[in-house]
Structure 1
Amino acid sequence: MKILEASQLKKYYGSGDTLVKALDGVDLSVEPGEFVSIVGTSGSGKSTLLHMLGGLDRPTSGIVKVDGRDISRLKDEELTIFRRRKIGFVFQSYNLVPVLNVYENIVLPVELDGNEIDTDYVEDIIEVLGLEKKKYNLPSQLSGGQQQRVAIARAIASKPAILLADEPTGNLDSVTSQDVLSLLKVTSDRFGQTVVMITHNEEIAQLADRMIRIEDGRIKTRRVKGGEKDA
């Protein structure tokens, strides 16, 4: 079963002469454990696509299925719960809670859902992301790269079906960006985590198992490692 499927996804704004087709019939599927990057220039529709895939916004038409569930049919409250349990998010801004330490930030989504914390799993994540010595630090005591590592740890602590990353290195320098992206790849490999990453940087996008280019709200090319392409 595909972990993520989008079928004829459309998102239109306005009407008549002011009609904007942010997404115009996107078909996309992602396999469990796959690391996919979606690359495009500003205004190409990549962030709109991520918002649709993550249930942060509703499409004008089309279907989005996450872990076999059609999220476009869920009511608002159902969708909120589903997102919390099944979808992890990493944004350009880290969105950490400033009064909570690193460990508390990481386990917060699990606690909000009323679930028991898998302490062995969380400790494993912390070790893989190199945060052992920062567990009890507040976000204000961390560098940007360290804060983004915490955001990644928090996103996967609840064992989501899929992790969506929107320009996760946008606020980081090039060296730290490579470091964070390597860690995203490691989490995908180590924990079997499915990752879909949005970026405008093609060099960064090529680190993924598969790269998809979007232009004018439509998918133009798909490329897997090894250079294979299809329209």
Structure 2
Amino acid sequence: MSILQTTALKKYYGTEPNITRALDGVTFSVEQGEFIAVVGTSGSGKSTLLHMMGGLDTPTSGSIMVREKELAKMNDEQLTIFRRRNIGFIFQNYNLVPILNVYENIVLPVELDGDTADQKFMDEVVQMLGMKDKLKNMPNNLSGGQQQRVAIARALVTKPAIVLADEPTGNLDSKTSADVLGLLKRTSSEFNQTIVMITHNNEIAQLADRIVRIEDGKIMG
């Protein structure tokens, strides 16, 4: 079953004759539990695509369905709630809240939703990511790799339909990158978690179940 589907997705900026076609008719689908890498050069449209799939930006035309709900049909408030419950984000710069400790950062999206974290699942995730003894630490006392693990835990703890990872290893050295990717792959298989990862690095992309290439706003076969 497709958990995410984009159909004829377009995102244009500007007006003729100076139109930038960031996305130019992108149609593809992602199955439950898949780990997909979207690769392309800088400016190919891959980050725009990720922002569209995450409901962070609206398309010029076309549709995005997540769990059979069309994002464009929601108002801002509905979209915010839907995003918080269904989409986990992992960014290159971690986006941790500096005044919260590791545990507070991880459970933040759940608490924003007025809920409490599933403690057993949270323990599993933290254990798997090797962060169990770091829960009371502040983000600025952690290495880049550790901060990225916290960001992964935060993305997973709401049990989202899909995790969107934007160059998740961009700021990490190659050894730490390999560790983080190994962890993403494991979370995909162990928790049947669907992951779409943006990367410009072909070597990193090889770890995914499937590679989707994008150039000039179009998916290449």
**TM-score in same-fold range (> 0.5):** yes
The answer for the alignment partner of 1:154 in structure 2 is: 154
The answer for the alignment partner of 1:202 in structure 2 is: 202
Per-residue deviation, residues 55-90 of structure 1 (Å, max 9, x unmatched): 000000000000110011111111111101100000
- Distance across 1 between alignment mates of 2:211 and 2:43: 18
For structure 1, list consecutive stretches of 5 or more residues without a partner in the other structure.
221-230
- Distance across 1 between alignment mates of 2:180 and 2:95: 16
Percent identity, aligned pairs only, is: 66
The answer for the alignment partner of 1:144 in structure 2 is: 144
- Distance across 1 between alignment mates of 2:72 and 2:198: 21
TM-score (norm 1): 0.94
Matched, 1:31 2:35: no
Matched, 1:190 2:190: yes
Cα drift, residue 16 of structure 1 = 1.0
The letter for the 1-side match of 2:204 is I
Per-residue deviation, residues 71-114 of structure 1 (Å, max 9, x unmatched): 11111111111101100000001111111111111011101101
The answer for the alignment partner of 1:52 in structure 2 is: 52
The letter for the 1-side match of 2:65 is K
The letter for the 2-side match of 1:143 is S
Query: Secondary structure of the residue that 2:50 maps to in structure 1?
Result: helix
- Distance across 2 between alignment mates of 1:98 and 1:83: 23
The answer for the alignment partner of 1:63 in structure 2 is: 63
- Distance across 2 between alignment mates of 1:108 and 1:14: 37
Query: Secondary structure of the residue that 1:58 maps to in structure 2?
Result: coil
The runs of at least 4 consecutive aligned structure 1 residues that moved more than 6 Å come to none
The answer for the alignment partner of 2:163 in structure 1 is: 163
The answer for the alignment partner of 1:109 in structure 2 is: 109
